[in-house]
Structure 1
Amino acid sequence: MKKILNDPLLHFFAIGCLLFLVFEYFGSAGEDEDLTIRVSSGDIKALEASFSRTWQRQPSREELDGLIDEKVRDEIAYREAVALGLDRDDAYIRRRLRMKMELLVEDITTAVPPTDEELKAYLEENRQAFRQEMRLAFNHVYLNPDQHGTTLDTDIQRLLEELDRKGEQADPRMYGDAIMLPRIYSLSSANVIDRQYGAGFSKELAGMETGRWQGPVRSSYGLHLVLVRQKKEAHAPELKEVRAAVERELMSARRQEVRKQTYDTLLDKYSIVVSRDNGVRD
C-alpha cells in the first residue's frame, strides 16, 4: 500500500481530479457566460504583422495556424484564470491594471493638442523654468604646464601669435598638448562648460571678445588659449525657441491633473477604513 501511495502516477491522477473539480465548481457559476472565442480578421492581421516585424517575412499557412492556436490558448488560459480568481490579491497584476487604467485616463489629455494660446500662457506662468542661460561656442588650445616648465610663458606667447595670425582658420586640433576633451564646441550652456572645465571657466569666456584668440584661461586641467566664436546671452525665450519643451511640460502637467481629478471623483464612491494598532481612522 505504501508503494502505491508513493507512485507518481497516482499523484498525477489525483491532481488532475482536483483540477477537474475546481474547474467544475467555478465553471458552474458562469454557465450563462459567453463561451465563444472569436478570432477576427483584424486579430489575424495583427498576428501576421507581429510575425513579420520579428522575422522580416510573412508567416506560412502552418505558422499562421500555430499563431492562431496560441492566441486561442492564451484567451482560454486568461478566462479560466480569472474564473478561478487568480487575478485577485496579486500585486503585479494590480499594478499592471492600475497602470492601464491611468494610461486610459491620461489618453484623454493627448486627444486634443494644446493651442498656441495655451502654450504661450503656460510659458508665461513658468518663465523661470524655461529661461535660457548663456551659451557659448568656442575653440581652445590646451597647454599642460607640467610639460613646458620654465618655457611656459614663452610657449604661450609664441603660440598665441601664431593662432592670432590664422584667426578662425586655425585648427585647434593641430596645436598645443593632448587633452581628452573636444577642441571645438558648438553653442553650449555655461553649466555644461563649467562642469567640464571647472567653476568660473564660462565666466572668463563670457568676458572675452569674439573672433580673436585670447588667453590663457585657467581650468581644472591647466591653461587654454581660446577663440570665442559666438555668444548668446541669457534670456527669457519666445515660444518658437522652446515650443517642444513647453508642450512636453504642459502635457505632463495636464496628465497629472487629470489623474488627480479622476481619483478625487472616484474616491467619493468609496468608504475608506484604515485600521491601525492605536485605533481606526474612517
Structure 2
Amino acid sequence: MKRILTEPLVHFLLIGALLFLGFSVFRASDESMDTTIVVTDNDIKVLKADFERTWQRPPREAELEGLLEEKIREEIAYREGLALGLDRDDPYIRRRLRMKLELLLEDISAQASPGDEELQKFLEENREKFRQEPRYSLYQVYLNPSQRKETLQKDAEELLQRLKKGGDEVDPGQIGDSIMLPRAFPLSPATVINRQFGSDFTTQLSDLETGTWQGPIRSGYGIHLVLINQRIEGRDPDLAEIRPMVEREYELIMRKELKEKIYANLREKYTVVVEPASTES
C-alpha cells in the first residue's frame, strides 16, 4: 500500500480528482451561471474567414469541426475562469480590459469626419503646429578656433575674400579645416541644420544674402564662411495644401478629448475611497 501511495501517477490522479471535486463543488454553489453556449452562424463565418486568410482555402468538414470545438473549449475555459474569480486582482487582465475599452472609445470617436469649416478653425487656432519652417541650401567652410588661435579672425577674413574673388576657380572643399559635418547641404529645413550646427548658427542664416560668400558666423564648433545657394522662407500654408495632416492632428486631439469626457462621466458613477498610508515602518 505504501508503495502504491508513493507512485507519481497516483499523486497525479489524486490531484486531478481533487481539482475536479473543487470545480464541482464551486459550480454547484453557483446555480445562476449560464451554462448554455450558442455558436451563431456569424461565429462560424468568422472561423471560416480566419482559416481562409491563413491557409488560402476553405476549411474541410473535419477542420471546421475542430475549429468549432476549439471555440467551445475557449468559451468554457473563459466562463469557468470568471466563475472562479481568476479575472480579479490580475494586473495583466486589468490592463488588457482597459486597453480594449479605450480602443472601443477610439473607434466610436473616429466615426464622424470633420468638415472643412471645423478643420479651418482648428488650423487657425494651431498655426504653430503646421507652420512650414525656412529651408536652406548652402555650402560652408569651417575654421577651427583651437588650431588657428590668435589668427582665427584674420584667417577668416582672408579666406572670405579669396572665396569671393576666386569664383568657380576656388574649390571650397580644399580650404578651411576638417570637420565631421558635411560641407554642402541640399535644401534642408531649419531644424535639420539646427541638429547639425546648433540654433545660433541657423538663426544667423536668416540675415545672410543668397548667392555670395558671407561670414564668419559662429556655431558650437567654431566659425564658418557660408554660401547660401537657395532660401525658401517659412510660411503658413493654406488648408488645401495640408488637409490630411490637419485632419490627422484634429482627429487625434478630438479622440483624446472624447476619451477624457467619457472617463469623467464614468468616474462620477463611483465613490473612490483612498485609505491613508500606514505609518508602520
TM-score (norm: length of structure 2): 0.74
Contact 1:37–1:75 under 8 Å retained in 2? no
Aligned partner of 1:34: which letter?
Answer: T
Pairing of 1:1-282 with structure 2 (within 5 A): 6-28=6-28, 29=31, 32-37=34-39, 40-49=44-53, 51=54, 68=67, 73-144=73-144, 152-153=155-156, 154-155=158-159, 157-162=161-166, 164-165=167-168, 177-182=177-182, 183-189=184-190, 191-268=191-268, 270-277=269-276
Aligned partner of 1:276: which letter?
Answer: E
Range that drifts further, 25-34 or 110-119? 25-34
SS at the partner of 1:89?
coil
Structure 2 stretches lacking a partner, 5+ long: none
Structure 1 stretches lacking a partner, 5+ long: none
Q: Structure 2 vs 1, CA of residues 62 and 221 (structure 1 numbering), >3 Å: closer, same or farther?
A: farther
SS at the partner of 1:276?
coil
Contact 1:160–1:225 under 8 Å retained in 2? no
Inter-partner Cα distance in structure 2 for 1:128 and 1:89: 45
Inter-partner Cα distance in structure 2 for 1:64 and 1:192: 57
Inter-partner Cα distance in structure 2 for 1:67 and 1:143: 75
Inter-partner Cα distance in structure 1 for 2:186 and 2:197: 13
Deviation at 1:192, TM superposition (A): 3.9
Aligned partner of 1:272: which letter?
Answer: T
Contact 2:164–2:212 under 8 Å retained in 1? no
SS at the partner of 2:264?
helix
Question: Once superposed, what is the RMSD of the aligned Cα atoms?
Answer: 3.8
SS at the partner of 2:250?
helix
Inter-partner Cα distance in structure 2 for 1:115 and 1:256: 19
Deviation string 1:146-174 (CA, Å, 9 cap, x unpaired) is 67786945555444544x3379xx8x767
Inter-partner Cα distance in structure 2 for 1:72 and 1:32: 14
Aligned partner of 1:255: which letter?
Answer: R
Deviation at 1:212, TM superposition (A): 2.8
Q: Structure 2 vs 1, CA of residues 65 and 225 (structure 1 numbering), >3 Å: closer, same or farther?
A: farther
Q: Structure 2 vs 1, CA of residues 184 and 234 (structure 1 numbering), >3 Å: closer, same or farther?
A: closer
Deviation string 1:189-214 (CA, Å, 9 cap, x unpaired) is 2x442332134211221111113333
Deviation at 1:104, TM superposition (A): 0.7
Deviation at 1:14, TM superposition (A): 2.2
Inter-partner Cα distance in structure 1 for 2:206 and 2:255: 40
Deviation at 1:109, TM superposition (A): 1.8
Inter-partner Cα distance in structure 1 for 2:169 and 2:87: 74
Contact 1:142–1:222 under 8 Å retained in 2? yes
SS at the partner of 2:106?
helix
Deviation at 1:176, TM superposition (A): 5.4
Aligned partner of 1:116: which letter?
Answer: D
Inter-partner Cα distance in structure 2 for 1:63 and 1:174: 77
Inter-partner Cα distance in structure 2 for 1:192 and 1:8: 69
Deviation string 1:90-135 (CA, Å, 9 cap, x unpaired) is 1111111111112111212211221111111111222344444433
Aligned partner of 2:109: which letter?
Answer: T
Q: Structure 2 vs 1, CA of residues 30 and 274 (structure 1 numbering), >3 Å: closer, same or farther?
A: closer
Aligned partner of 2:95: which letter?
Answer: R
SS at the partner of 1:195?
helix
Contact 1:187–1:230 under 8 Å retained in 2? no
Inter-partner Cα distance in structure 1 for 2:246 and 2:16: 60
Inter-partner Cα distance in structure 1 for 2:248 and 2:37: 45
TM-score (norm: length of structure 1): 0.74
Inter-partner Cα distance in structure 2 for 1:174 and 1:6: 88
Deviation at 1:257, TM superposition (A): 2.1
Q: Structure 2 vs 1, CA of residues 175 and 23 (structure 1 numbering), >3 Å: closer, same or farther?
A: farther
